[in-house]
Every structure is written in structure tokens, then in C-alpha cells.
């Protein structure tokens, strides 16, 4: 799943340079969704690791 995130971020960056329209907007939207999803998972895993150590 992380590979898909990186792929969509790269596509969004390339499309952003060329102008946000069509596929660029969709890729940017998916990249944002994946970014926040993985950010939440990262924070949860940090919290879970901290709880196990205590």
C-alpha cells in the first residue's frame, strides 16, 4: 500500500508541474488521502509502542 502512496505522490507532483486538471487533481486527491491515512497509522503505532514499553 505504501508503494501506491509513493506512486500517487510522484504522479501528483509531475501533474502539478504540468497543471492541475483531470488526472492531476485525482492523483493529488488520492495522494492526500493516503498521506493522512498512513500518518494516522504511524501515530497509532508510535502510541502502541510507547504503551508496550511502559
pLDDT in tens, 21-50: 677 677 777 778 888 888 888 888 888 877
Split into its structural domains, the chain has a count of 1
User: How far apart are the C-alpha atoms of 50 and 52, rounded to whole Å?
Assistant: 5
Q: Which domain holds residue 29?
A: 2-53
CA distances from 36 to 5, 25, 31, 40, 54 (A): 10, 17, 9, 6, 27
User: What is the per-residue pLDDT for 39?
Assistant: 85
User: How far apart are the C-alpha atoms of 27 and 48, rounded to whole Å?
Assistant: 31
pLDDT in tens, 1-20: 567 777 777 777 777 677 66
Q: Are 15 and 41 in contact (CB under 8 A)?
A: no
Amino acid at each position: 500500500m505504501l508503494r501506491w502512496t509513493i506512486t500517487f505522490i510522484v504522479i501528483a507532483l509531475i501533474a502539478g508541474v504540468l497543471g492541475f486538471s483531470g488526472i492531476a487533481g485525482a492523483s493529488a486527491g488520492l495522494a492526500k488521502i493516503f498521506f493522512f491515512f498512513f500518518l494516522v497509522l504511524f501515530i497509532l503505532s508510535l502510541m502502541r509502542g510507547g504503551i508496550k514499553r511502559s
